[in-house]
Amino acid sequence: MDGTAQLLDIDRRYLVHPLHHPEEHKTPLFVVSAHGAMLRDADGREVIDGLSGLWNVNIGHGRGELADAAAEQMRKVAFASAYVGATNEPAIRLGEKIVKHAYANSSGVYFTTAGAESNEAAFKTARYYWKVKDKPNKIKIISRIHAYHGVTMAAMSATGMSAYHKMFGPLVPGFIQVAAPYAYRWQGNEEPGIGAAEAVEKAILAEGPDTVAAVIAEPVMGAGGVIVPPRTYWDKIQAVLRKYDILLVADEVICGFGRTGSFWGSETFGMKPDIVTMAKQLSAGFMPIAAVMMNQRVYEVLRENSNRNVSFAHGITYSGHPASAACALEVLKIYEEQKIIDRARDLAPHFLRQLHSFADHPLVGECRGVGLVGA
Ligand code: PLP
């Protein structure tokens, strides 16, 4: 048995993979190295990394400066806690930098290590916010069918794809899913924006506005099939959320960092979220780091809370890990210096034109996309 076959044999004996299924792991992609957008597998084959890793490797493989940034930081200190009462420089600098790239009223940043973990933290932040505001019953989270928000317990309960629920139910109580904008179009609705906003409002009224903490949504649904919302969609949803005083969480795990042609997907779609979750492209895939960003309204309740009895008792060991933060800082420097976001915006028309050139193919039902994301 050669080296590769032997390794795969060991893999099958010991590893449990995300979405594990033995049948689907018979001939896995076995990447050994990569450069730019090209992957090289264990048999020496070169393939295009068409999905950019898992939507995260947005400035390519083989960026030595990112390895150096992480390694240099690791040489200084293995780990430095960011739990309250402790901190470290890369986390401080990264938090400041993220806020500088955000909207005018963005303020606080909490670090995690994954998209799902950021969404979990966002749900808890929303609940915390309402408890401090003396509205302890505002606990429910509304999401949309076809949404993907990760698959940890609460994130899975917001994820609107039944395949992820089937073997792990029941879902966490207090998570409600409503129709995606597209579902209305499939049903022949003339004005999908209005119909979809009504779905959110209907759910809020059915649950009781005083029980709903937040709506979570990707600006454009990614894993659910790049479902680009109708032009009026976000205006209408946001009007509903203002009416009933409900927070908006924008899941920017795929849409953030240029993917839709602006720095944030929320910008592309005119969203003004209270909480933003981000992950993948924060480190361009080089290190596991993710974050939750809060606007002033939400961050103020954390910053100005002097009551120890209601402290924000949430945390993870690797929040603000110095090596991950140092690497992400270098990534943001590359985005700035190499004008990556402008490049995404400039390339988008070409990409979308090429994508739409498949529209007449007999096997293609529809082409849709925005910025540099398409299906
Ligand atoms: N949110 C969105 C929009 C995603 O696409 C994903 C993953 O693809 C997640 C959350 C979950 O991120 P992670 O796999 O890092 O937990």
CB of residue 146 inside a 6 A radius of ligand 1: no
Shortest-distance Cα residue to atom 3 of ligand 1: 253
What pLDDT was estimated at residue 306? 78
DSSP 3-state of 349? helix
Question: Tell me, what's the pLDDT at 106?
Answer: 87
Residue pair 352/374 in contact by the 8 Å Cβ criterion: yes
| Residue 119 alpha carbon, nearest atom of ligand 1 | 10
Joined tokens for residue 216: 């979570």
- Distance (Å, rounded) from C-alpha 332 to C-alpha 281? 10
Type of residue found at 47:
V
Q: Does any ligand 1 atom lie closer than 6 A to the CB of residue 114? A: yes
Task: State the distance from the centre of ligand 1 to the C-alpha of 253, rounded, in angstroms.
Answer: 6
Nearest CA, atom 1, ligand 1 = 149
pLDDT of residue 186: 47
Distance CA(68)–CA(76), nearest Å, equals: 12
pLDDT for the residue numbered 182: 64
Tell me which residue has tokens 């600098």: 93
> What pLDDT, on a 0 to 100 scale, did the predictor assign at position 198?
85
Pocket test for ligand 1, best of 146, 164, 253, 257 (most atoms within 8 A of CB): 253
pLDDT computed for residue 195 by the predictor: 64
- How far apart, in whole angstroms, are the C-alpha atoms of residue 369 and residue 146? 16
Ligand 1 within 6 A of CB of 90: no
Residue-level pLDDT at 193? 47
Q: Is 251 in the pocket of ligand 1 (CB under 6 A)?
A: yes
pTM reported for the whole predicted model: 0.95
Q: What is the DSSP letter of 164?
A: G
H runs (alpha helix) in the chain:
3-14, 52-55, 64-76, 89-100, 115-132, 153-158, 181-186, 192-207, 233-244, 265-268, 296-303, 322-337, 340-356
The CA distances from residue 94 to 23, 26, 260, 275, 290, in Å, are 42, 41, 22, 17, 11
The confidence score (pLDDT) of residue 12 equals 94
Splitting the chain (375 residues) into consecutive groups of 10 residues, what average pLDDT does each group show? 89 96 93 97 95 95 98 98 96 96 88 98 98 97 96 98 96 95 54 68 96 97 90 92 98 96 95 97 98 97 85 96 98 97 96 95 92 93
pLDDT of residue 188: 52
- Nearest atom within ligand 1 for CA of residue 252: 3
For the chain, helix (H) and strand (E) counts, in that order, are: 13, 12
Question: What separation in angstroms does the CA of 136 have from each of 139, 328, 367?
Answer: 7, 36, 44
The verdict on the CB of residue 148 being under 6 Å from ligand 1 is yes
**Is the distance from the beta carbon of residue 252 to the nearest atom of ligand 1 less than 6 Å?**
no
Residue 159 CA, ligand 1 centroid: distance in Å: 10
